[in-house]
Copies of this chain bind each other. A is one copy, B any other.
């Protein structure tokens, strides 16, 4: 996508809060990744992310989400799929969580969101860097995104 097209897309589409809730109820994902990383004291890194994936024909919707939340990035996922993604703990805590606290998801994805939220709060307090905190996060993560592929 060239810069002009991105700029045009951002400015063309205004999203309403309830549209975003409906779209994320359908297409959004709150995910906690736990990856091995020997450079860290506990040997693992916790990587939370909020993503919305779309075919490239609807990349303008992803830029509109980025514009709405004023954080995150739009990146190629794979093939013709692109995603809007927020990984920064600060932005998740300051922008994404407050939005979905105020505008509640209507599907069972809300249960997932609440677990995601608990992990972000723990990470904000640095608990992912302690053995006890990390184990709490592992337990919460193991209960998320069940039946995702069904």
Residues of A whose CB lies within 8 Å of any CB of B are 13, 15-27, 54-55, 57-58, 61, 64, 79-81, 106-108, 147, 150
What are the 6 A-B residue pairs with the smallest beta carbon separation, nearest first? A26-B26, A22-B22, A22-B23, A18-B18, A19-B22, A26-B27
Within the complex, the shortest CB–CB distance from A2 to chain B, in Å, comes to 19
Partner of A22, one of B18, B55, B79, B81: B18
For the complex, give the distance between the alpha carbons of A50 and B24 in Å: 20
Q: In chain B, what residue has the closest Cβ to A27?
A: B26
Give the chain B neighbours of A61 by CB distance below 8 A.
25, 106-107
Give the chain B neighbours of A58 by CB distance below 8 A.
107-108
Within the complex, the shortest CB–CB distance from A101 to chain B, in Å, comes to 16
5 A-B pairs with C-beta separation under 8 A: A17-B18, A18-B18, A19-B25, A57-B108, A80-B147
B15 touches A106 (CB 8 A): yes
Give the chain B neighbours of A108 by CB distance below 8 A.
57-58
Give the chain B neighbours of A16 by CB distance below 8 A.
18
Within the complex, the shortest CB–CB distance from A117 to chain B, in Å, comes to 20
B21 touches A150 (CB 8 A): no
